Every structure is written in structure tokens, then in C-alpha cells.
Amino acid sequence: MDHRRSEPPPKSLWHHQEAQDVLKYLSSKTSGLSQQEASRRLLEFGANQLPQTKTKNPLLRFFQQFNNVLIYVLLVAGIGTLLLHHLIDASVIFAVVFLNALIGFIQEGKAEDALQKIRQMLSPCAEVMRDGHHHTVDARELVPGDIVILHAGDKVPADIRLLSVKSLQVQEAVLTGESVAVEKDLNPVSQNAVLGDRRCMCYSGTLVSHGQSTGIVVNTGAHTEIGRISHMVAQVRPSTTPLLKQMGEFGRWLSAAILVIAALNFAFGIWIHSYTASTMFLASVSLAVAAIPEGLPAIMTITLAIGVQRMARRNAIIRRLPAVETLGAVSVICSDKTGTLTRNEMTVRNAATAEHDFDFEGTGYAPHGGIRLNGCDIEPDHGPVLWKMLHAAVLCNESALETHPEDSNLFHVAGDPMEGALLIAALKAGIESDNLNKQFPRTDLIPFESEHRFMATLHHSHKNEAYIYLKGAPEDVLAMCDWQKTVAGDVQKLAKSYWLEKLEEYAAKGQRVLALAMKPVNQNQRTLNFKDVEKGLIMLGLFGLIDPPREEAIRAVERCQKAGIRVKMITGDHAATAKAIANQLNLANTEEALIGEDIMAMSEDELRSKVESIDIYARVDPEHKLQLVKLLQERGFIAAMTGDGINDAPALKRANVGIAMGCNGTEAAKEAAEMVLADDNFASISHAVEEGRTVYDNLKKAILFILPTNGGEALIVLAAVIFGFQELPLTPVQILWVNMITAVTLALSLAFEPSEQRVMSRPPRDPDKPLLSPLLIWRIAFVSSILAAGTIGLYLWQLEQQHSVETARTVAVNTLVMFEIFYLFNSRYILASVLSIQGLFGNRFVLIAIALLIFFQLCFTYLSPLQILFGTTAISGHHWLEIIAISSSVFILVELEKSIIRWRRPNAA
């Protein structure tokens, strides 16, 4: 192919060019590019994907890690210590601040990397011509010059100049704001034509609502119109979540309290005990360093990030890190039906001819399962009319089956799922579409459109026969039929009441029904017009199809309901189908359904009164979704909402957790959502809620572990000043060592805690409820007192035994660390007992963290460089026995406290 191209038109003027001129400029032809040329152009133009959100400058992102009021206090303490020429103390303080910033910087970078990969994981597909053959390719592989085939229901994968159209209409509301679909043609328009008047163009992200067409790709990726919109949406900054607001307020409150207490401590030491100003400044710095949970911001970020990684492994991709926490509070899930609660694999379940009813076995796009009549397998001779129906279903069909890339025994459908189901049904009867289409090549067609609700094709056999085959909505097809086919091969007058009864029977099962008909015509007829099918057709039969619920979705709905989460199904399908699926899913209320017309006729007050109790919403428009989520939020629900279309974006943004579909969702929907389902499966939502609850639990556990450590250290310093100790039991650098080494080992291990057994058996948490409940505040005070009393007691005991201050401090630091090791086991369950195999050994990261911490403490105690840096000295085995004996008391006392609380509050655990 000639790679040379003439001078290109401005990219905004493709609509002003004749189709053949566009083909010529892009060095393409109607049979498509060669695979080799497409690969070359992919390298030249890049992948067809939307613009990536610009990331922050790394240096700026690093300095933003210091924007925390607690860090400010530490920096002031470090500067003051430096001015007093305590270089080692100041160096350690600054090192801790730097380390904390580095952890946050690295973790945020990982989160940004994950977001950059989302679009690559979730690209849609496109049907193209390559080397003269139809292929389904990843839409990212489209290049300018590719010939794309579009059908009703397709998303336009790139900006396209149309080459041929047949009754093509495209919904372009995302670009123009017009709700009415635009009819397309091939005529160039004025170069100044506005977007809505460019009838010869289709733009990326819009939806083909009727007809079919072919077109040539002119713009991809960032150069598409939708690329600009996606970029604008990506710039919207999400609001912070309740947890982050609570932690921000907690940080400010804690900082103020620390500064006040440190000032009082400074004044008390000087006025009461006549300490020097420099001594009391160091004591106040020690107090501030002790009280500040330096590792908490990093632990929070890492815990959320671990939740993101866990969710990703379960097909739930979190786009915004704080959304992990919101998932734990979700109290209602408004879910699409098709593909989310169901398999999105239409299956022919029943077929009716004029004389018989047939059952089809098997599910989805696997061609396994028999065809049964009265409970027995049948052969073609026993069902000649059914075989005629299946012939018609294959010939009057715009879709194709492609071998599944991971399982050669499965297929996936290129085209409409219902048409794919008909092809699978034909395979069960041994009818292959390629062979049949060769025997009866197609001459002309009338494509399916909503106005006439049928598709018709004209075929000629090699025996000089000609037939019209037609499939469509039963009511419309019956109106065009005068006859019906019999087993004997004859035709008889149409028994319309029989077919309407069958239609009602299938609809009551929640099945979608298609009618098949045929008509012999003159072999010389080469075109197909509406007048050819207005009357005189022969009714062949009805197919009953259903998109069955996912087995895992049924279980997931049950789990959500046990967890106090109401599940509501929102679908564009008919109410009868929605009710049938809802019954199989065991939704709470399957008796009532609201349809879009009902919603439109209701006042807002009427709908508000019903929105909580109604669980089935059928035949609804995207704007109804937005209205429903608003009203649910007004009634106090934390709402998760699923969506896949561009028009779903407002509801996704309004919801507390917007959930976009990864396989079938638009990029605009993904941009508007906090979470993307990689498999479009409702079960993944329930798994994400479970992980969200677990993340929140683990954050509480980490806070409940870290704060008593800081409280105990602060009490130790305060007690030393109040009681007039000559030396502080812990120096500032020793306190920093304890805070950071336990945060990066022990506290971090709690981020890996598995879900507790009852996590999905309790109601959703109240997002307005404070993070630190009275129970948690009591626990923090209780444990802080134990840690302070035990550490000071052993410190004083060492002095009484005539040991040096260095030895006493070394014992005190190790006592405090061992207290935390024992308390870590308590922290694994907030109220439940840990006295079990699972409680003691159920998190291997806890055991690894303890082993690492013991190793670090031995280095801290016995390595000469660390002894010089931290002012420690070697201690004997007898000291270790005293340390373990005292520090183990916290484990016993906290487990005893838990048992008392469980006895007083039986349902607490």
C-alpha cells in the first residue's frame, strides 16, 4: 500500500471532505488496511485511548507530604532541639519526618501508577476490516485509515467519516446535548457546520441507536471530540470522605492539645521543680514527640492502598483512594440488571411452533446441551418446523460467533447478544452459520430499527429458490403473517390467539420473545422493500430467550441483605422480565415494580415515599437513576450506583460510590465513577463492600494500637516531670525510635488483617459516627496507663538496683516495645477474644512484624553504633525475664476487659 499522502485537511474539517477524498488521503480502501500496515500506523499514531490525567510534579508531590499539622509540630521541635546543639536528637527527629514523607510519596506514586493503567485494562472492542476480512480488535488498536463496521447498539470507538449507511441514527447527546438521535448520511457539509450538523461523521463515545454503517477512522485517542470532554471530567477534584475529614480534625485537635500540655509541662517543671529552661525544653520536646503519632498518616495511606490492591484482585478497581473507606458504609446498592446481576449471555430456553413446545438445555455461549420435546431428545426429522426456525434465525442475523480466547469450547459474540444466542441454539441442532450462509447467500436486507421492530433478509439458494426470512417483536411479526407452518410441511391459516397465549406464557417467565417468519418469493427478486413484508408471511414460531442471573450474583445479593444492605435492580427491560429475574435473585420486594412512566407521573413526594420499599425499577431512563439516588440519600442511605453509559455519569457522580462497568462501560462513566468493575459482575461489588468494611476495621485497629503507645509515652514524660525525676525515663530520640519502628512493623501488620467472620453480618456503619467512640477512648486511656505504669515501674526498679541510667532507659524502651508486642495480639480484634489459633496465628504478617521488631530491638540494645546514637547499653537475660513478665500483663488485662464488655453487651463482639 502506498504510504504517501496528499496534504491533509485540517482535522476539524473531515466533515467537509468527500468520502473518497478521505479514503485517498488516508491511503486506505473499503476492504481495510493490511494487518502489517495497521501495526505500522499504531506505532506512528499511538494507541487509541483517552488522554491520561497529568500527574503532579514529583518534587511538588514530595513536599506536599509535609503539609500536616502534626508534622509542623515535629519540625518545630526538631529546630528547637538543633538550636540547643543536641545534634543527634535533632537529626533523628528530622530523619523521622523525612521517612514519613518518603513513605507517603512512594505510596501516592503507586496509586497514580495504578490509575494510569486503568484505561489500558478496560478498553472496549471494535469490529474492523483488515486484509478484506471482519475482525474484532481491541479499540486501542484502531488507527486512522481503519474501516470500522457499526451496528445498532454499538459504541463508536473513534472519530469516523462515514462511507456507507443504512438507516443509521446516532445518539450524540454527550457532545451536543440533543436527546434525539441524529440521522446520518454521506454528504459533506459546510466547513463551518457545528458539531450537531455534521451528518457524515460519527464521533467516539456516541451510541448507534438504529441501522448500520461502515466508516473510516480519522481521529483516535486524544484527538477525538470525546477526548476533550474526558480530559475536563478528569480535572474535577473529588471531595474528601468522612474518615479523612475526621482525621484532619483529629490532627488539629491533637496538635493543639499537645502544644498546650507541652507548654504547661514546661512551666510546671521550671516553677515547681526549678529545672533549667533547656532541660524543660527537651522534656517538652520529648512530650510532643511522644504524643504525636508520626506513623499514623503513612499507616492510613498504606491501609487504604492495601484495600485497593485486595479489591483489584477481586475485579473491583478503585480510582480514588479514599473511596475504599466509603464502601464500608454503603447501605443501598442500585444495580443494573444486564451483565451485572445477569450473565449478559442470552440463552434460548424455549421454542414454540404451531404444534409443539421445545426446551433447550445449556446456558450462555457454550454450544452444549440438547433440544428436548416432551422430555426426550429430538432429531431433525422430529422437529422440521423448528429446524426451519433455526435456519431463519441463522440467515436473518447480523452477528457472528468467535472462539473464546481462553476456552475453545466457548464462544463470544461479535454483535447483538440475542442474535448470538440464536446462533448457539442452531449449533445445538448441528447447524453451522458459515455453511448455511453459503447455501443461501444474502441478497438484500431491511435492518432492525425501533420504528418497525423487525429485521428481514432476502436469500437465494443455488437451486434457484428465493426466500424472505424475518425476525422481530412477536406482535409486529404476527401482524404481517397470514399463515403458519405445520409439521407436515403444509401451511394453514394463522391461529393468532394461540401465539398470543404462548407469548404471554413466555413473558410471564421473564423471557424475551422473538418471532420468526418466512416467505417464498420470485427468484428474480433482488431487492427487499417494506411492501414485500407487509403481509402474506408464514409464521414459523417463537423463541423464548433469557439472560439468566449469575449464580455468584444470587449469593452476593444474599450476603448484602444479611449485611443490612438493600439491593435495588434498575433496568431498561420490561417489568415482567425484571420481576422474574428479581425472584431468582431473591430481592427483598419482588411483588412491586415501578416503571419509568410511573416515575414520570409521580410527584417527588410520592416517589420519596416509595423509593425505600420498591426494589425493582423497570423501563427507566438515565435521568431516573439520578432522581432515585438523590431521594435515597435524602432518606439517609449511603448509595452505591452502577452505570455504563455516558448519560449515567451524573448519577455516578451524585452517588456516594459510583461504580462503572469495565467491560461495557464508556470512558466517561469510568471517569465519573469511584470504582470500576473489571468483570461487570455484581458479586465484585459485594466483595468490594466487604473489603471496604475490613479496611475501616483495620484503620480503627491501627489507630487503637498507635494511640495508646503515644499516650503511654506522653504519660511517662509527664509523670517524670510531675514527680521531679532527675532524668527522663525516655529521651526524645528513644521515643522516636519506638514510634517509628513499631509503626512500620507492628502497626503496619494490622493493615493486612483478614476480614472478621461477622464483617458481612452486621449493619452498615453510620458515616456520621465519630471514629473514636467512647469505648475506643476508654481503651486508649486504659492501655496507656498500663504501658506508662509498667515502664516507669521497671525504670525505677533498675535505678533502685543501682543500675546506670543508660541501663534503666534501655530496659524502659524494651519494656515499652514488648508491651506493644503483646498488645498487638489484643488489637487484632477490638472486642472479640484472641485466645484461639486464628486469633493468635491467623495473620502471618503479625508474626513476621514481631520477628522483625525483636531483631531491631536486639540491634538497638547490643550494636555499638546504635548504642552511641540512642544512648543504650547491653542488658542481661535476667532483665529480659523482668521485661517479659511485666509487659505480658497488658495482654491479660485487655482480654479480661474485653470479656467484661462482652458479658455486659452480649452482641458487642
Catalytically active residues are 336
Per the CB < 8 A criterion, the answer to whether 209 and 169 are in contact is yes
Taking the C-alpha atoms of residue 413 and residue 415, their distance in angstroms, rounded to an integer, is: 6
**Sequence-distant (≥ 6) Cβ neighbours of residue 255 within 8 angstroms:** 69, 70, 72, 73, 292
Strand locations in 172-253, DSSP E? 182-183, 201-202, 207-219
Taking the C-alpha atoms of residue 381 and residue 273, their distance in angstroms, rounded to an integer, is: 109
Residue among 689, 566, 686, 570 at smallest CA distance from 637:
566
* 455 φ/ψ sector (left φ>0, alpha ψ -120 to 50, else beta): beta
**Sequence-distant (≥ 6) Cβ neighbours of residue 357 within 8 angstroms:** 350, 351, 373
Per the CB < 8 A criterion, the answer to whether 737 and 870 are in contact is yes
Taking the C-alpha atoms of residue 308 and residue 292, their distance in angstroms, rounded to an integer, is: 27
Taking the C-alpha atoms of residue 297 and residue 244, their distance in angstroms, rounded to an integer, is: 10
**Sequence-distant (≥ 6) Cβ neighbours of residue 263 within 8 angstroms:** 284
Q: What kind and span of H or E run contains 541?
A: strand 537-546
* 374 φ/ψ sector (left φ>0, alpha ψ -120 to 50, else beta): left
Alpha-carbon 296 to chain mean position? 27
Alpha-carbon separation of residue 543 from 343, 475, 491, 549, 577 (angstroms): 19, 13, 19, 19, 15
Q: Per residue in 703-719, is it b (16+ CB within 10 Å) or e — as a string?
A: bbbbbbbbbbbbbbbbe
CB atoms near residue 328 (< 10 Å) = 24
- CA-based angle 780:785:790, to the nearest 5? 130
Q: Residue 712 carries which side chain, given as an amino acid letter?
A: G
Taking the C-alpha atoms of residue 247 and residue 330, their distance in angstroms, rounded to an integer, is: 20
CB atoms near residue 161 (< 10 Å) = 24
Question: 813: exposed, middle or buried (C-beta count within 10 Å: 0-12, 13-18, 19+)?
Answer: buried
